Amino acid sequence: MVANIKLFTPLKEDEIIKLEIGNKVLLNGKIYSARDAAHKRLVELIKEGKPLPFDIRNQVIYYVGPSPARPGMAVGSAGPTTSFRMDPYTPILLDKGLKGMIGKGERKKEVIDSIIKNKAIYFIAIGGAGALLAQAIKSARLVAYEDLGAEAIMEFEVVDFPVIVGIDTTGKDLYAEGIKKYQVLEEV
């Protein structure tokens, strides 16, 4: 069994280009939460030539809207949301320097092409494990868009946040490979 790979943010290109689909990664450092409403606002700022509320270069965005924190916790349940809702905005953010995304589910071809072009990475977090994932979030700080409630942009400090490489910097896609393997088994 392959050991977990520890990565620290901000991401370094020379480290993420070594990752392959299926690798188990433990993320450490700061990551940012944002869902579709926040993504729309970020892209509007870019189109207007205005600064973003945080330096996106080499950062990781987690597609999550955590529930309220219980006593002693930084956030409540923090499971990933479906990534395709961010697909219309993702290539623009990748072109601005975003290096990593965390979510669940497949990505459109345009996003995969942008991942390749920008040498970025897509991580998968396990859906249904929000309470477990929240334990790896040690602090949470509001960054922007408080009016969005749980979907506001937050800065999380994470320690050993467990993810799996879903799409690597070469565009290999864990979902597509899984489907191919299943089809081969089905033909046997």
Which residue among the candidates 34, 38, 39, 114 is catalytic per the annotation? 39
**Catalytic (active site) residue 27:** no
Instruction: Report the 10 Å Cβ neighbour count for 184.
Output: 9
Report angle CA 36, 83, 39 to the nearest 5 degrees.
25
Residue 60 pairs in a beta bridge with 100
Residue 173 gets which letter from DSSP?
A: B
> Taking Cα atoms as reference points, which of 112, 122, 107 lies closest to residue 16?
122
> Do 102 and 80 form a contact (C-beta atoms < 8 A)?
yes
Residue 156 gets which letter from DSSP?
A: E
Residues involved in catalysis: 39
